[in-house]
Amino acid sequence: MHSVLILSFSNLASDPRVNRQIRTLARNFRVLAAGYAHPQVDGVEYFAVPPPNVPRTIPGKAWAALLLKLGRYEHYYWSRPEVRWCLSALAATRPSVIVANDVGSLPVALKLDSRFGVILDAHEYAPRELEDRIVWRLFFQRYNDYLCRGYLPKVAGMTTVCQSIADAYRASYGVASEVLLNAPPYQDLRPSPVEAGRIRLVHHGGAMPSRKIELMIEMMDYLDERFDLDLMLVPTDARYLERLRSLAMRRPRVRLAPTVPMRELPVHLNRYDIGLYLLPPTNFNNQLALPNKFFDFVQARLAVAIGPSPEMAHLVRQYGCGLVSGDFNPRSLAEQLNALDRTRIESYKQRSHAAAKVLCFEMNSAVLIEMIERLTGSS
């Protein structure tokens, strides 16, 4: 049986995309997984990459900043502790194929000995990942572009989250990639009934300033009394989360609800009516976002309410499972939501029910499996 090493500088238990890779490939191959936490998948050989969670000293930060500003990108990359650990600890694994997640894991994956090559799951568009942050632009934008220019041409295959980002990689670096959606596994659920006189909105995900979650809280000021909103937020940025908590406390129909484990999300979300995501294009990846939560909403059989984010809007219109506002102004989306009645919401939920059979990982995972089979000659 061919072996696949999945490498990701992330928490393998809570990173939805990587965890799905591991679970799916474990059915067809011998899987080795290297990352910051055990993926909790039976039969997988786990390698615990030491997470870079120790605060760096001021001289250490200054040295890293100097290397980046001087363009000493190779020196900076190969001096990272997690990279050095992988070179040492994974050298003897010699898998058939390595799946490197995100561009930051690609150089070390290519340095390791794999029989048939490295597949990069680029996820989103690395050269403009956090372009809304000045520190990232100053120190990491050129660095990420350097990694892409130097290492993308060496991959044996590549995937990303949506066609627009695949097109951007091709235009900038001349590399082709296939689309592997962020869809979770199919959930055998049915739409929950819509209560008379009550519409339950929900949003879940990381509390990140670039996502402007405060706009969804502000939107509640323009909605009628039928609506309430639960926010299930991961404390990605603790200070920002406290700011959102303060905003929510001023509005009786907004609640910060407890988070639930990744694999339980669709079942938990199923009791709501509308999955909400108003995501302004604060950076390139937000502009072209097609995130896990969109597909979680569909699997939960919810109606979907979003701003005009093109990738999400395309699917909402294609499957008729919700509404798309004309702009990213909270009042605009509120006006469309206020016009909904119980029958319309139930119709949207039924259309999500139909779409769930297509917008699931089972229908999409063949992209990665077939890519590995082509490389190994086992198709």
What residue type is assigned to position 35 of the chain?
Answer: G
Report the 10 Å Cβ neighbour count for 209. 16
* % of residues, the chain, pLDDT over 70: 99
What does each C-alpha distance from 364 to 159, 164, 184, 292, 340 come to in angstroms? 12, 17, 10, 14, 32
Report the 10 Å Cβ neighbour count for 217. 20
Residues 190-198 have a mean pLDDT of 97
Beta pairing partners, 98? 5, 118
379 has a pLDDT exceeding 90 = no
* % of residues, the chain, pLDDT over 90: 95
Pseudo-torsion of CA 132, 137, 140, 144, nearest 10°?
70
DSSP output for 278-325: ----SSHHHHT---HHHHHHHHTT-EEEE---HHHHHHHHHHT-EEE-
DSSP, collapsed to helix, strand or coil, labels residue 32 as strand
Write down the pLDDT at residue 57.
78
**Angle formed at CA 269 by CA 264 and CA 271, multiple of 5 degrees:** 125
Asked if the domains at 3-183+363-376 and 199-355 fall in one CATH topology, the answer is yes
Write down the pLDDT at residue 58.
79
What DSSP state is assigned to residue 56?
P
Q: Is the pTM of this model over 0.85?
A: yes
Write down the pLDDT at residue 36.
97
pLDDT tens digits, one per residue of 133-189: 999 999 999 999 999 999 999 999 999 999 999 999 999 999 999 999 999 999 999
Confidence band of 305 (pLDDT split at 50, 70, 90): very high
DSSP output for 127-169: GGTTTTSHHHHHHTHHHHHHHHHHHGGG-SEEEESSHHHHHHH
pLDDT tens digits, one per residue of 201-254: 999 999 999 999 999 999 999 999 999 999 999 999 999 999 999 999 999 999
pLDDT mean across residues, the chain: 96
Residue 39 phi/psi, 5° resolution? -75, -10
Write down the pLDDT at residue 51.
87
Per-residue exposure over 243-275, b if at least 16 CB sit within 10 Å of its own CB, e if not:
ebeebbeeeeebebeebeebbebbebbbebbbb
53 has a pLDDT exceeding 80 = no
**Angle formed at CA 126 by CA 125 and CA 132, multiple of 5 degrees:** 90
Q: Which long-range contacts (CB under 8 A, 24 or more apart) does 38-41 make?
A: 38/12, 38/13, 39/12, 39/13, 40/13
Write down the pLDDT at residue 142.
97
Q: Give residue limits of the domains in the chain.
A: 3-183+363-376, 199-355
pLDDT tens digits, one per residue of 138-147: 999 999 999 9
pLDDT tens digits, one per residue of 7-31: 999 999 999 999 999 999 999 999 9
What DSSP state is assigned to residue 93?
T
- d(Cα 323, Cα 276) in Å, to the nearest integer? 10
Topology, domain 199-355? Rossmann fold (3.40.50)
Stated length of the chain: 379
54 has a pLDDT exceeding 80 = no
- d(Cα 49, Cα 33) in Å, to the nearest integer? 10
- Tell how far CA 274 is from the center of its chain: 20
Write down the pLDDT at residue 355.
98
Superfamily for the 3-183+363-376 domain = Glycogen Phosphorylase B; (3.40.50.2000)
- d(Cα 202, Cα 275) in Å, to the nearest integer? 5
- d(Cα 250, Cα 226) in Å, to the nearest integer? 18
- d(Cα 146, Cα 73) in Å, to the nearest integer? 8
pLDDT tens digits, one per residue of 103-116: 999 999 999 999 99
263 has a pLDDT exceeding 90 = no
Cβ pair 255, 232 in contact under 8 A: no
pLDDT tens digits, one per residue of 55-90: 667 788 889 999 999 999 999 999 999 999 999 999
- d(Cα 354, Cα 358) in Å, to the nearest integer? 8
Helix ranges (H only) for the chain are 16-25, 58-69, 73-78, 81-89, 106-111, 134-139, 141-151, 163-173, 214-219, 238-249, 265-269, 284-287, 292-299, 310-319, 330-338, 342-355, 361-364, 366-376
